[in-house]
Amino acid sequence: MTTTAPQDVAWDLEPLVDGEGEPGADRMLDEAQRRADAFAEQHAGKVAQLDGPGLAAAMAELGEISEIVGRVGSYAALRFSVDTADPATGALMQRVQERGTAIETKLLFFDLEWAALDDARVEELLAADGLERARHHLRTARRYRPHLLTEPEEKILSEKAVTGRDAWSRLFSEVTSAIAVDLDGEPEPVALDVALARLASSDRDVRAHVAQRVSEALQPTLRIRGYIFNTLLADKSTDDRLRSFPTWISSRNLANEASDESVQALVEAVRESYEIPRRWYRLKARLLGVERLADHDRMASVGGEEPEIGWDEARDTVLDSFAGFSAEMADGARRFFDERWIDAPVRPAKRGGAFCAYTVPSVHPYVLLNYTSKRRDVLTLAHELGHGLHAYLAADRGVFEQHTPLTLAETASVFGETLVFRRLLDAATTPESRLSLLAENIEGSIATVFRQVAMNRFEDLAHTARRQEGELSLDTIGALWAQSQEELLGDAVEVTDNYRTWWSYVPHFISTPGYVYAYAYGQLLALSVYGRYLAEGESFAPKYLELLSAGGSRSPEELAAIAGLDLTDPGFWRTGIGLVGDQLEQAEAAAEEVLAKRDQDLHSTG
């Protein structure tokens, strides 16, 4: 039998451009521009005159234009993500962004004229046939009415973003992807993701060495990344002022179909429960035999060094876990492997981390990984395939309603990861192996719920300070980062001076300000969804698949109701946090069992 090396798992992006490569991308953009010009000629200044069938026809044409631009944009961005250092790939992405923005600018009038219609007329139009895959989108688009500018102003902001916000974000990706870490014992520097994976070592000296070298590797371009962050903080402040958003997070909440008050309730509920991660870290210090953890100890393995998990084993574990829940779910995930929808290896200049790109409904999603053969990577594979299945199953909703708000985007990913975790836990036969898995589980929830809320607090501090004080020094940014992390960790973990620069490689702060709280939202929601599955058994699978297939065609509250959950309940988030507390209690029980066994072994040999 042959085995598949992660280095051989590369995606095929050609379906996005009809197998024609760059010439196909340019041809498709030419077509999209022609159709956008014709659409504007037909409808600009006349949206108020549309009847129901006319609106349906207009949305169908807009959808097809969006599909074309989305396919080419995805092609360029995904090529760039696996090689941020290639000048030709960078030039392609820039050209596609510029041409895509020109098409977007040509069509801006439609959203502005639609938003200007009175409510009664809108409801009359939305009752027409043919809008089944655009109705919710059209309704939610009107929520931006108080924040829209005039058409000339909107065009200027859209066009200037290419050489403004988007350009700074690209520079951040290029600079961060080029970071390499010198580690003792390695013949050459390793990628940042590879180095960070070494923080799971059970050897504290190794962890301290890796953390020191990571901090050193972050230094040479730290001022550049700090300047990018400062610039984008100011850019967002300007946008929010021009659009009359009351707070730095309000625009993100609007996009997420969440009120400022509901998001604040989530954040405060999590902050009030910071003792959950602190309890775990105090216990982990006992497991590791140290008085107090340092920041670089948090991800240390408590079950000894992990065995490497090959690509084929990872694939089979994920597919078997999905099949145990739903054959349809497993069949969809299998296509990602069989049809080259995944790029797995760590490469020089490849973007770090992992993500799933929905692309467009007419093609299929793609998954990027940096697979280092750790058990955590298997769970990451399951996580990103959860996203991929969400996109795959929601494709029938069309280009306007395939995507959910970010607050629901993590539901499918966390659910998929939980299925795989349960499969691994069932296969664990020793107290040590069970503890290792349960530790990963609680640490995953801590990272997704509590750490992301702490990162939200850092963003809040940084955006607020930038608006009040002007450009922030690196020392100030580092102090704000340390403040948010120390609030989370309390007396359980030492936040070292070196750690003050580790904010500087997080892409979400740059590309998607305000995004991170959606991880906590999605994790708590997914845990509740999984709880429904445990309560209902096999009969829950059709409801879950219906939830994913609905995409973004309904509000978050309506989508959660499919799974029998009530997001309007003020106690919902505390119930979800209670489920994380249950995870902690399982991990604590396993830890005490292992500690007792260690004491017994010590006495028997003493």
**Pair 358, 365: CB distance under 8 Å:** yes
Give the type of residue at 161: A
The torsion angles phi and psi of 41, rounded to 5 degrees, stand at -60, -35
Query: Which tokens in the block code for residue 82?
Result: 């696996």
Distances (CA, A) of 127 to 52, 135, 317, 322, 558: 7, 9, 47, 39, 19
CA separation for the pair 107, 97 (Å, rounded): 15
pLDDT of the residue at 406: 85
Q: How far apart are CA 473 and CA 177, in angstroms?
A: 23
Helices and strands in the chain, H and E counts = 27, 7
CA distance linking residue 238 with residue 232, whole number of Å:
10
Q: What is the pLDDT of residues 175-193, one digit of tens each?
A: 999 999 999 999 999 999 9
- How many whole angstroms separate alpha carbon 522 and alpha carbon 605? 48
340 Rama class: left (phi>0) / alpha (psi -120 to 50) / beta: left
Structure tokens at 238: 């300007």
Q: 344-396: per-residue pLDDT in tens? A: 999 999 998 999 999 999 999 999 999 999 888 999 999 999 999 999 999 99
pTM score:
0.86
**Contacts with 568 (C-beta within 8 Å, 6 or more apart), sequence order:** 557
Q: Give the pLDDT score at 107.
A: 97
Question: 525 with 323: CB under 8 angstroms?
Answer: no
Residues 6+ apart with CB under 8 A from 229: 462, 477, 504, 509, 510
Report phi then psi at 403, rounded to 5.
-80, 140
Q: Are 410 and 383 in contact (CB under 8 A)?
A: no
The first and second tokens of residue 36, run together, are: 């956008």
DSSP annotation string for 192-218: HHHHHHGGG-S-HHHHHHHHHHHHHHH
The contacts of residue 490 (CB under 8 Å, 6+ apart) are: 274, 275, 278
297 within 8 A of 210, measured Cβ to Cβ: no
Domains of the chain: 8-163 (1.20.140.70)
Which residues lie across from 356 on neighbouring strands?
367
3-state SS of the chain: helix, strand, coil percent to 5? 70, 5, 25
Phi/psi at 565 (5° precision) = -115, 145
Q: What's the rounded Cα separation, in Å, for the pair 502 and 491?
A: 20
Q: Which tokens hold the place of 111?
A: 């959203």
What pLDDT score was predicted for residue 202? 86
Residues of the chain scoring pLDDT < 70? 1-2, 304-306, 605-606
